[in-house]
Amino acid sequence: MNSSKPIWSEPPTYYEMRTHDTNVEGILSSLANGKSRIAVQNKSTLDLMISYSVYKACSLKWLIEVTPTLFSYAETLHLTQPLNFIIRRTIYNQFLGGESMEQCKATMARLKNNGIGVILALSAETDVKEQDVKEQDEQDKDRLSKGFNHKADEITRITKDCILSASAQPGSFVAVKVSALISPSLLQIVTDSLSQLYRSFEEHAGGQTMSQSQVCHVVVQHRGQVNVDENVLDIVHNCSYSEIDLVEFKHMLSLNRPAVLDLLSNVLTWQDKQDWVQMMRRLDEICSLAKSCGVKILIDAEQTYLQLAIDQAALVMEQRHNKLGACPTVYNTCMVAQISQVLQMLSNLPYW
């Protein structure tokens, strides 16, 4: 298959993906819905049959599991070219807006004419690899950091191209994966550290508030070093409340503040802190360009063990680029959760 990373548009509506309605009555009922008609009104019967077949195939776990093996056999038998031909006329047409900016713009214009908006996204994200977490040699760490930064700068450039393409249709979205802009192992370290600090606060506060001196004690105890006192005092005394609850505590620990990064220096190296600053710079450039182009940014939710760090970056961007009385530019997203979990998450969001 083509090794280039295609730019894709999300499936237009939820209704088009309701493959669980396998009986004829259920399918016809879905198609009778006005919103569903927007998505399918200009498609032929053949197009709809192909769409249904693709979505149904994607729901077959066994087929997903054997697909890599099938591709390997196809390559061995020199059948890659005909396989690519089939895929481009079936699967690609369902999920991809195009393999170039020009193709994406044409797809966006066609969808816009049918009353459908798009979310452009670059198919680039990374996950934590075991060898990255276990890496101890400083030279190897430096090499990994340089490699991630080079790749992240290139992804930032391509994402900016996506934004320029999306600006052709006002109101379009571009989705961003933070894990593509920084080492995911660093995101995991930051998430673990923040999670431990939050738990320490909750254990000591017992659902109540704490004084500034009590908060200092909790943070210093977590940090485990005496020389953190100055940073802790700087962080806590900038708080406008004498009694601090969990929401305000999370607000205090914004990693956009140098003193907070220094606070985590027991788990973050100098290079880690520089990499975090570089990631924030990349994300800020992306959001700034999107705002100037009238494009909205969706910061995608990712694995739970990376999410607290991603939320930190997203909240800083929302604070910086979203203004009261104006249409928001930056939107954070969250993992699918039970209603009780969502309510808990909302109650813990810091005020800006």
Question: What is the pLDDT at residue 36?
Answer: 64
Rounded to 10°, the helix 184-205/212-223 angle is 130
DSSP-based three-state secondary structure for 83 = helix
- Record the pTM: 0.72
Strands (DSSP E) contained in 29-115 are 96-98
The arithmetic mean of pLDDT across residues 141-165, rounded, is 87
Q: Residue 199 contacts by C-beta under 8 Å, 6 or more apart in sequence?
A: none
Task: Sketch the domain layout of the chain as residue ranges.
Answer: 1-100, 187-263
Indicate whether 348 pLDDT > 90.
no
Of residues 105 and 234, more confidence is placed in 105
Render pLDDT for 22-42 as a digit per residue (tens, 0 to 9).
Answer: 556 666 666 666 666 666 777
Indicate whether 342 pLDDT > 50.
yes
C-alpha span between 229 and 225 (Å, rounded):
8
Q: What is the mean pLDDT of the chain?
A: 78
Q: Phi/psi at 303 (nearest 5 deg)?
A: -60, 145
Name the pLDDT band for 54 (thresholds 50, 70, 90).
confident
C-alpha span between 345 and 340 (Å, rounded):
9
Nearest to 188 by CA among 200, 176, 178: 178
